[in-house]
Chains A and B, each alone.
Chain A
Amino acid sequence: MSRIKRVHILLAAAAAALCVPAAGVSSPSGLPTSIGKGEGQLNLIAWEGYTQPQWVKPFEKATGCQVNAKYAGSSDEMVTLMRQGGGSQYDGVSASGDASLRLIYGKDVQPVNPNLIPDWKNFIPALKSPAHNTVNGVHYGISLQWGPNTLLYNTKLVKPAPTSWSVIYSPKYRGKITVPDNPIQIADAALYLSKAQPSLKITDPYELNQAQFNAAISLLKRQKPLIKKYWALASDEIDLFKNGDAVVGASWPYQTNTLQAAKVPVKDLIPKEGATGWADTWMMSSHAQHPNCMYKWMAWVSTPKVQAEQAIYFGETPANPKACPIMNKLSPGSAAQYHCGASASYFNSIRFWKTPVAACGNGQNDCMDYTKWQQAWTQLRG
């Protein structure tokens, strides 16, 4: 036992030693006030499509930071990867709102100085210091892009065109429905129930008490026999739609773009109940080995051109509205299509992914935390 402890102390000492040569010059608060010289390498965990050569290659050329990216398929996987090997293996992660708080409270990510990111002041107000990456005024990352989880359907086979999420819970398309294999999908069911069953009084799909949670799970249980496959990778859903195994499902705009490019007759929409969505943040590991390169990366992906390129590639909305005119230049009409520079009311209509916790506002402590969500999802899938 004492040996284990000694190893831990050694590891901690090594980690602390590595933390010291942080970026450039440091201020009294411990945050750097300038970005130092790049370390030549940058190891990232990212969503598929977030580190495309289109904007990574010019970054490498401009900064000398060689980018090594690993794709993660879910927020849970991102959290696990960030902790792997003592947390020093990766410098940064493109965390969604349901992972960012877990990383902050797990001390896996470190505070950053947003003033070192020139474009940060241009961001839409809601994404400068959002609750999912800023705690007590301390910034733990720089917002990136955001977007809704959409309803995807085959325009030839689904008629009339759906307007409500009810289409994925009704037997009309039995055996032709697909939804993500992810516990956070419970929130989609809760969002639908908040409109379909007002008596449940669901106000936030991530803050569910036992009764509301049970209602969502029983809806998902009734949905299960209607489903063709729970998709794990975006490419799985693309295959299902291409090969006619699915005609309607919960999706990301990325799949719509890919399928339309392959001439599959699909469309997507935000149904009348609204949609869940993601707001992603680049966060820096507490044990980042290449902090200067990470700062340079966060600055790079915040610039209007890269914001526009990524928005069009993935089908999402930039945090930096200066990207909107560039989007239209790259692909006419794309700024409007992806709601670039959209109003605050549109932003607020999307229920962004966040980690469900027991404390659910107004002093109540009876909400189901994420462990319960995961257990329920395992039960449902088994």
Chain B
Amino acid sequence: MAASLDTAERLSHREPGRLRAARLGLSGLFWRHPWAKALLLLAPPLLAFVLVYVASLVALFLSSFWTVNPLTTEIQHIWNVGNYTSLWDSSVFRTVTFRTVGIAAAVTFTDAVLAFPLGYFMARIAGGRSRAFIFVAVLLPLWSSYLVRVYIWRLILDDKGVLNWALGKAGLPAANIGYSNWAVWLIFAYVWLPFMILPVYGALERIPDSYLEASRDLGAGAWTTFRRVVLPLALPGVVAGSIFTFSLTLGDYVTPLLAGGTNSQFIGNVVYSQIGSGDVPSAAAFAAVPLAVMAVYLLIARKLGAFEAI
């Protein structure tokens, strides 16, 4: 300790006077004005945030008030709210929005139900080695391409796929769920499951053992302890996980495109086809819908304490 102080002193002695003064002046500035340090730390990420994120959102929002030439599909900068009124008037956009939000909610619920017991086992029952093993098992699928996993599910659910083959061997009738909303739901629930397990595990792990012991000492049974102690304390974790599963499903278009049926268009698919046909303004207007949905969702999630659990 003394030696290192010594070194520091010698080093500072060797430092030229002017540089030293500047350094001291700077740390003095930071000490007198804490916001200056914060500004220096935050400037690069803030700049990226404004340029990359906010600017593109503003561009998206602005272009949603433009229109396109019907013959050449060139964008014309004529300001109007027609794109938003047609969103409201046309039933197809409502249907697609409700389907997207509905499946996102179903996926989130499914993942929560699947993740809770697994997270509980990992946090409170499993030993060190088996916990590490489960961690790897949960994260392993994330190392492979998302696209490959969707295509693999397609192979499983195909008419001549693994599922129908296994059902046939068991003497059961074929499940005709390939290329349908069932397939979309199943695949989403599979690919986003790790994003639910990790925050749920984190929340459950943070519950002190003493709480459970206290609950038991006060005469509560296992079920009451779970209902009144574990569940309320783990809920922020579930809500945090649901932000991921819900928003990832809401913004996706690949799985509905590859594995969906005739009634599986998501908001993303409609946006994709509108951009493909050159109608960027309509696409921008429709893309504002999931933004609004997510804003409401995040407000509710904050009320439920999710942001403390991330």
Report A's interface with B, CB cutoff 8 A: 74, 76-77, 79-80, 83, 102, 105-106, 175, 183, 224-225, 227-230, 232, 236, 239, 243-245, 355, 357-358, 369-371, 374, 378-379, 381-382
CA distance A379 to B277 in the complex (A): 15
Select which of B160, B257, B258, B273 is within 8 A of A378 by beta carbon.
B273
A381 close to B265 (CB less than 8 A): yes
Give the dominant DSSP class at B's interface.
Answer: loop
**In the complex, how many angstroms separate the beta carbon of B259 from the nearest chain A beta carbon?**
9
- Residues of A within 8 Å of B278, CB to CB, are 76, 79-80, 83
- Residues of B within 8 Å of A230, CB to CB, are 262
With A105-B71, A229-B179, A369-B71 known to touch, is A244 a contact of B277 (CB < 8 Å)?
Answer: no
- Residues of A within 8 Å of B92, CB to CB, are 378-379, 382
B73 close to A243 (CB less than 8 A): no
A106 close to B262 (CB less than 8 A): no
CA distance A254 to B172 in the complex (A): 37
CA distance A229 to B258 in the complex (A): 10
- Residues of B within 8 Å of A175, CB to CB, are 176
With A369-B70, A370-B70, A378-B270 known to touch, is A243 a contact of B161 (CB < 8 Å)?
Answer: yes
A232 close to B257 (CB less than 8 A): yes
CA distance A374 to B92 in the complex (A): 13
Q: Does B111 contact A (CB under 8 A)?
A: no
- Residues of B within 8 Å of A370, CB to CB, are 70-71, 73
B262 close to A229 (CB less than 8 A): yes
B95 close to A102 (CB less than 8 A): no
Scoring B residues 260 to 296 as 1 if CB is less than 8 Å from chain A, else 0, what string do you get? 1110010000100111111100000000000000000
B265 close to A225 (CB less than 8 A): no
A-B contact pairs, 23 of them (CB 8 A): A76-B273, A76-B276, A76-B277, A80-B275, A80-B278, A102-B72, A102-B73, A183-B277, A227-B262, A228-B179, A229-B262, A243-B160, A243-B161, A245-B158, A245-B178, A245-B179, A357-B71, A370-B71, A371-B68, A371-B70, A382-B92, A382-B93, A382-B96
Nearest CB to that of A357 among chain B residues? Answer: B71
With A76-B278, A244-B159 known to touch, is A105 a contact of B72 (CB < 8 Å)?
Answer: yes
CA distance A220 to B279 in the complex (A): 23
Select which of A79, A227, A245, A369 is within 8 A of B159 by beta carbon.
A245
Given contacts A228-B261, A243-B158, A371-B279, could you give 4 more A-B pairs where the C-beta distance is less than 8 Å?
A79-B73, A224-B262, A243-B159, A374-B279
With A102-B73, A244-B158 known to touch, is A80 a contact of B262 (CB < 8 Å)?
Answer: no
Q: Does B213 contact A (CB under 8 A)?
A: no
CA distance A175 to B261 in the complex (A): 10
Nearest CB to that of B179 among chain A residues? Answer: A229
B71 close to A102 (CB less than 8 A): yes
- Residues of B within 8 Å of A76, CB to CB, are 273, 276-278
CA distance A105 to B72 in the complex (A): 6
**In the complex, how many angstroms separate the beta carbon of B119 from the nearest chain A beta carbon?**
36
B262 close to A225 (CB less than 8 A): yes
Q: Does B90 contact A (CB under 8 A)?
A: yes
**In the complex, how many angstroms separate the beta carbon of A238 from the nearest chain B beta carbon?**
13
B73 close to A106 (CB less than 8 A): yes
- Residues of A within 8 Å of B15, CB to CB, are none
Nearest CB to that of B68 among chain A residues? Answer: A371
- Residues of B within 8 Å of A244, CB to CB, are 158-160
Interface centre among B70, B73, B260 (most CB of A within 10 A): B73
- Residues of A within 8 Å of B9, CB to CB, are none
- Residues of B within 8 Å of A239, CB to CB, are 154
- Residues of A within 8 Å of B155, CB to CB, are 243
**In the complex, how many angstroms separate the beta carbon of A137 from the nearest chain B beta carbon?**
21
CA distance A83 to B279 in the complex (A): 12
- Residues of B within 8 Å of A358, CB to CB, are 70
Scoring B residues 62 to 80 as 1 if CB is less than 8 Å from chain A, else 0, what string do you get? 0000001111111000000
Q: Which of B208-262 contact A (CB under 8 A)?
A: 257-258, 260-262
CA distance A374 to B68 in the complex (A): 13
- Residues of A within 8 Å of B257, CB to CB, are 232
CA distance A224 to B264 in the complex (A): 12
CA distance A369 to B276 in the complex (A): 17
